[in-house]
Structure 1
Amino acid sequence: MDKLSFAGLMLGLVAIIGGQILEGGHVSSLVQPTALLIVLGGTMGAVLLQCPFHVFKRGMQMAKWVWVPPVIEQKRTIDQILQWSQLSRREGLLVLENYLPGIKDDFTRKGLQLLVDGAEPERIRELLEVEVDTYEEELRQSAKVWESAGGYSPTIGILGAVMGLIHVMENLSDPTKLGPGIAVAFVATIYGVGLANLIYLPIAGKLKYYISRMVAAREMMIDGLVGIAVGDNPRIIESRLKGYLR
């Protein structure tokens, strides 16, 4: 679990709630189910209208990376590529065919299959880079679900505030209804801006970080396979691949 993400969220919430208490306000005044319904429902509706459902679904599934980051084993990948490089120099590229059944990752399996089949180095790079570009675009479109939510949420919050003020204006003759209406108006704005800047946009930023690392891992695999295909010395391949390590 990413403890820093959890700590960041808690720090933001404590700062807002603590500030409310220090100013003499009550925490209960920040709890307005009507305002929350307007902001969450309006934001989700706008996001669903913007993107296809499969993109929305994948974006929701990717949110777990904030708490449980995806496994990116760059050092293990380097060791694996160096092993293939050393074997291919001693026994030829065909010996690498024995490793194909044990590879679970489709991208790696495809690259190694191209290498075993004797494809030209530039052809290997060309075919695999197309897959990397498509893979990156799909992931970034899914991450934009949260980025879009961060853009819509404050506006929906303002919409909720206007609705609350309209309710207040309609009931000026009844003082008992003025307080709840004004509360919904201002709390809706807090929800809209708070959710955008404490949850939606930070999640989008964290997902983009992991996407860049996952893409870099695939680019590293391409460099390694191309290095084997052109017959580079394993030490040269290792030196080049270590440039990808963070």
Structure 2
Amino acid sequence: MDPATLIGIALAFIIVVVVNVMEGGNPMAMILIPPMLLVFGGTLVICLAGGTMGDAKLAMQGMVKAFTSPAPSAAQLVPELVTLADKARREGLLALEDYVADLDDPFLVKALTMAIDGTDPEELRDILEAEVHAKKAETKQAAKFWTAAGGYAPTIGIVGTVMGLIHVLEQLAQPEKLGHLIAGAFVATLWGVLSANALFLPLGARITRLGELEVAQMELVIEGVGALQAGSNPRLVAQRLRSLLPASQREEEAA
């Protein structure tokens, strides 16, 4: 698990609470169920209205993944692919059948299985690249849901504030209640802006980033299996795969 998202979001809310206390406020004054229900509930159902049930399911899966999944690293696959290339060059592709069951990456397992079955290299590349395209589309849609939520939430918060101010105007005959009511009215705006910038938009960005890392890993597998099918020298395979890695991941792979 990569805790960056959990740490970042938690710290953002903690900082807001700490600053509120430093300014003499009461954090419990921000915990009002009606404005929170309006902002969070209203934002999510509006996002649902802008897509399909399948989109919402992808978004929920993306949210769970954002908080719980480790960040994929293509560098970790390089030694594995080089070892497989060496084995295939010395003993042939069929010799890799015994190794497939021990692999953890489902995409690599699929690619190797198809290569062992004798799939034409060009056809295999087309099939695998189609999966990469599907992964990009899936990631884009999941991230879009939360990015849209980040756009809707502040406006929903303003709607809540307007509703609260209407209630304030209804109580003008009781001046002693006005301060409390006005403060409560602005809680909706607070939650709208805070949820957008400290939760929804970071979630969208995290899902996008995880998708980019997964795609990079899949593209590395395509290149590695292609070289493996061609019977390339393992040293050349290693150099080719390392050239596809960002500088930081090359250092990680070397280490």
Provide the TM-score with structure 1 as the length reference: 0.88
Q: Equivalent residues in 2 for 1:6-45 (5 A)?
A: 6-45=6-45
Contact 1:132-1:219 within 8 A present in 2 as well: yes
Aligned residues: 246
Give, in whole Å, the separation in 2 of the partners of 1:205 and 1:195: 14
Distance 1:24 1:101 in 2: 61
Aligned counterpart, 1:163: 163
Q: Partners in 2 of 1:159 and 1:213 — Cα distance?
A: 38
Q: Tell me the C-alpha RMSD between the 2 structures.
A: 2.3
Q: Say if 1:89 and 1:140 are closer, same or farther in 2 by CA, change over 3 A.
A: same
Segment drifting more, 220-229 vs 103-112: 103-112
Contact map agreement 2:39 2:188 (CA 8 A) in 1: yes
69 and 100 in structure 1: CA distance in 2 versus 1, 3 angstrom threshold: closer
Distance 1:199 1:117, change over 3 A: same
Task: Please tell me the residue identity of whatever aligns with 2:181.
Answer: G
Query: Residue 68 of structure 1 corresponds to which residue in structure 2?
Result: 68
Tell whether 2:200 aligns with 1:183. no
Counterpart amino acid of residue 152 in structure 1? Y
In 1: Cα distance, 2:8 partner to 2:41 partner: 25
Q: Which residue of 1 aligns with 2:245?
A: 244
Task: Give the structure 1 partner of residue 121 of structure 2.
Answer: 121
Q: Residues 111 and 124 of structure 1 are in contact (CA less than 8 Å); yes or no, is this contact kept in structure 2?
A: yes
1:6 to 1:105, Cα distance in 2 relative to 1, 3 A: closer
Q: Is the 8 A contact 1:34 1:184 kept in 2?
A: no
Once the two structures are superposed, residues 89-148 of structure 1 have per-residue CA deviations (whole angstroms, 9 ceiling, x without a partner) of 122222223334445654323311332233333322111000111022112212222212
Cα distance, 1:8 vs structure 2: 2.6
Structure 2 residue aligned with 1:207: 207
Once residues 158 and 35 of structure 2 are traced to their aligned partners in structure 1, the CA distance between those partners, rounded to angstroms, is: 10
Q: Residue in 1 aligned with 2:194?
A: 194
Percent of residue pairs identical: 37
What is aligned with 2:50? 50
Counterpart code for 2:54: H
Name the CA distance, whole Å, in 1 between partners of 2:107 and 2:22: 55
TM-score, normalised by the number of residues in structure 2 = 0.85
Q: Provide the residue aligned with 1:225 in structure 2.
A: 225
Distance 2:204 2:123 in 1: 34
Task: Rate the CA distance shift 1:110–1:26 in 2: closer, same or farther, 3 A.
Answer: closer
Cα contact 1:120–1:229 (8 A) shared by 2: no
- Assess if the C-alpha contact under 8 Å between 1:35 and 1:188 holds in 2: yes
- Please say if residues 147 and 201 of structure 1, whose CA atoms lie closer than 8 Å, have aligned partners that are also in contact: yes
Inter-partner Cα distance in structure 2 for 1:12 and 1:110 = 41
5+ residue gaps in structure 1? none
Q: Deviations over 1:141-165 (max 9, x none)?
A: 1222221211111110011011111
Inter-partner Cα distance in structure 1 for 2:146 and 2:122: 37
The 8 Å contact of residues 2 and 71 in structure 2, kept in 1 or not, is answered as: no
